[in-house]
Amino acid sequence: MPQETLKIESDYIPTKRQYLFHISPASEILYGGAAGGGKSRALREDAFAKCVAIPGLKAYLFRRTYPELEDNHIQQSLETFDRNVCEYISGKKLWRFKNGSVLRFCHCQHEKDLNTYHGAEIHALYIDEITNWPEGFYNFLRARNRCPVHIEQPYTGKIPGAYLAGNPGGIGHEWVKAKFVSIGDPEKIVYVPGGVDDGGEEVPGHYRQYIPAKLDDNPHLAKNDPSYRAKLMMLDDVLREAWLNGNWDIHLGQAFDFRKDIHVVDDNIPIPDTGPIYMTFDHGYGRPFSIGWWWVDHDDRLWRFMEWYGCSGTPDEGLRLSDQEIAEGIVERERSMGLEGRMFIRLADRYSFQRRPNFYTRQGMGPSTEEVFRDFGVFLQRADDSREQKIRQFRDRLRIPPDGTLPMMVVYKRCTDFIRTIPTLQTDPKTMEDIIKGVGMEDHAYDDACLVMMERLINSVPHESKKYLCDGDRIHDEVINGGDNDPVDYLSELLSEEDEEGLRL
């Protein structure tokens, strides 16, 4: 592994993990995990070092919003950057180096802001708090991450490059986890094959790496703020795992306490020969449709034993199948499971009963989904799909009983999209009684599952996560959606408002 010497005249002394980030030969790196790991400083100093070492480099450092950019990077750079090698151009929010390199500070809060960088040539792309970004935003900027000039060693293969930092949580949690965290062991460098771009040109492969960061990796913070760890320890188990230990299986703002080790069961559990089978259908065309099949045991426990998730493979993009194709697929899947002749209760959302314009003849109104399905022997019933009560039913079904018995809803391993999407859902910061809507939130499996729960209501049972979800939403709104993005600052404010025991939950 080639090593580079940081050419920085400053008081910056990299920690062991920061140093690993700086010398990595990978060209796409996520440095992230827990709070307090020194991620933002590492990004800023890495950008500065490369601008000093590579004449003519064009580096861009992003935060989602301008206030975050100003507080976390611009002001910090004014205090630490060496003015002997560069000068700050305030009106353009950039540092211009004597060797011709440029480091720009940028933000991209809304989709329209992407147009600002449509023609950009980004040699080194830095994004702080990447989990606050939709995947499409990152892909857009990554497509501008190119460098036509020859790069000398030790930077060959590292430029053009993308260098990211972030914590678990946020709207980008799932895609960031899938792209970086789930590809292999931490610190392992993984080769990503190339392909063909939109113009038919060959795209070479590159190397990707995830470098975890924890509070223990940053002795500077422990020395300067000894109480930081104690403040994080006051969080409940979920937030503590995310912020202190950098656990990517649990994240801030998570709407549901879904545990794979508890809520997921083996596929070989037999489906009872008698009793009704529920089928739940959440309509989708441009976005995925979701179908779940359930059986119910004597305790009124729901078992999701099969699903069909109409996704193209691109997150939240539908297969665009006709109602006829979906109905045929339902019949075929039930036949393959040996369920012919069984009694089905088929529940659907209100959109399945609405007639829509006839896109084939472009004249008049075409049949509803319910009418098309009926022709194939798939008879739908309209279910209660009101949003406020179903989230409470979903939470109560997931509740983990203290006596060690199974929750009131379990899922077979083969229901991979339910297992994938439910942990990513976040409550709306404005109300804990709904799921947040927006880019990157795949709530289709959740919506189909809630149809059977509203059909078979159980008594709402108070449990500990209710208060966490409320406080978690407050913290999510403050920290992720526009606050200082530092949990300790907000927790200190909470401590003055609420008793310590309440925060411990």
My answer on whether 220 and 274 are in the same domain is no
341, 482: one domain:
no
In a shared domain, residues 424 and 487: no
CB count within 10 Å of CB 322 equals 13
Same domain? 321 vs 338: yes
- Classify burial at 298, counting beta carbons within 10 Å of its beta carbon; exposed 0-12, middle 13-18, buried 19 or more: exposed
Is residue 372, in this structure, part of any structural domain at all? yes
- For the chain, the domain total comes to 3
Same domain, 178 and 105: yes
| Domain's final residue, options 227, 249, 284 | 227
Name the E strands within 73-160.
86-89, 94-97, 102-107, 124-128
Residue 7 lies in a domain: no
- pLDDT digit of tens for each residue in the chain (505 aa)? 344 444 555 678 888 889 999 999 999 999 987 766 688 999 999 999 999 999 999 999 999 999 999 998 999 999 999 999 999 999 999 999 999 999 999 999 988 999 999 999 999 999 999 988 988 899 999 999 999 888 888 899 999 999 999 988 777 887 898 899 988 899 999 999 987 665 667 778 999 999 998 776 666 555 666 665 565 555 555 556 666 667 787 666 678 888 888 999 999 999 999 888 999 999 999 999 999 999 999 999 999 999 999 999 877 889 999 999 999 999 999 999 999 889 999 999 999 999 877 655 566 788 999 999 999 999 999 998 777 788 889 999 999 998 889 999 999 999 999 998 898 888 776 665 678 776 567 899 999 999 999 999 997 654 433 333 333 333 333 333 333 344 334 333 333 333 333 323 2
What's the pLDDT at 353? 95
Q: Are residues 208 and 300 in the same domain?
A: no
Of the CA atoms within 13 Å of residue 202, those in its CB half-sphere come to 3
212 and 265 belong to one structural domain:
no
DSSP percent split of the chain into helix, strand, coil, nearest 5: 35, 20, 40
Q: Do 31 and 163 meet the contact criterion of CB atoms below 8 Å apart? A: yes
CATH number of the domain that residue 314 is part of = 3.30.420.280
pLDDT at site 492: 38
Whether residue 216 is found in the same domain as residue 272: no
Co-location of 205 and 289 in the same domain? no
The reply to whether 183 and 332 lie within a common domain is: no
Contact 189, 153 (CB under 8 A): no
475 and 447 in a single domain? The answer is no
* 3-class state of residue 128 by DSSP: strand
Q: Is residue 9 in some structural domain?
A: no
Report yes or no on 239 lying in a domain: no
What is the C-alpha to C-alpha distance for residues 363 and 378, in angstroms, rounded to an integer?
Answer: 26
Does some domain include residue 234? Answer: no
Last residue of a domain, one of 211, 227, 243: 227
CB 476 within 8 A of CB 253: yes
pTM over 0.75: no
400 and 449 co-located in one domain? yes
Is residue 104, in this structure, part of any structural domain at all? yes
Q: What is the pLDDT of residue 478?
A: 36
| Domain boundaries, position 368 | 260-463
- Residue 173: inside a domain: yes
Q: Is residue 144 part of a domain?
A: yes
Token digits of residue 422: 């439910």
Q: Rounded to an integer, what distance in angstroms lies between the CA atom of residue 207 and that of residue 187? A: 12
Q: What is the CATH number of the domain that holds 33?
A: 3.40.50.300
